[in-house]
Amino acid sequence: MTIPTTNAARSPLMDRLAIRMLGFTRVSIALLRLSLVVVLVWIGGLKFAKYEADSIVPFVANSPFLHVLYRYPAPQYRRYINREGELIPNHRDWHQGNRTYGVSYGLGIMIVLLGILIASHPVSPRLAMVGSLLIIPFSLTTLSFLITTPEVWVPALGDDVHGFPFLSGAGRLIIKDCIMLGASLVTAADSAQSYLGRGRTLLQSDDREPNLRPL
């Protein structure tokens, strides 16, 4: 293996470390894909729990694109917020009438299916590539909540630290989708490479079209 040289001083220790890290490229991408699958399937499964369904209401209700999924407009939901682990029957009744749980169940199914598509990489890199690419609009939609949802910023309740750029717990949850976005691009490119590699092998073995190659 040839090590590229530069005019800057080189460190033999760092060179050895860099060469060793190159051997972890495939493992790193596999772990990144596994992480995506675990997060998607787990979070998607939690969308069937009522506390999780309640927690996404501020994001959906304030979105200019998604608010039509609910029956009641923002900010009406603020009177019916349930803390995690809390059971207030009339709050649950309001969310039932708001279609909170039906929307959450549908979202959960889609998220779990995306995780399954990405997990199919060993047997169908084409499907895995599609699954990874579909994560991109999901992540961009989630990140748009930083603009549309007031609850993502620390409220002005007396402390001088509030508003932008001080993310609340909800905001810190949303900003992590930057990682999801980057990870999905990496796994999509890796699945595309595997898909084209398989296609190249098949095309090269076809004597009828010897010059045909995938782009």
- Tokens representing 82 are 């349930």
Tokens of 119: 């997990």
Determine contact, residues 47/53, Cβ cutoff 8 Å: yes
| pLDDT for the residue 93 | 96
Domain range annotation of the chain: 26-204
Confidence at residue 4, expressed as pLDDT on a 0 to 100 scale: 56
Single-letter residue type at 174: I
Q: Is the torsion defined by CA of 171, 173, 179, 182 positive or negative?
A: negative
Is the Cβ–Cβ distance between 103 and 28 less than 8 Å?
no
Which amino acid is present at 3? Answer: I
Q: How many CB atoms lie within 10 A of CB 162?
A: 13
If one counts every other C-beta atom within 10 angstroms of the C-beta of residue 145, the result is 23
Q: C-alpha angle 68/71/75, rounded to 5°? A: 85
Ranges of residues in the chain whose predicted pLDDT is under 70:
1-8, 198-215
What pLDDT, on the 0 to 100 scale, is given for residue 5?
A: 54
Name the strand (E) or helix (H) holding 169: helix 169-175
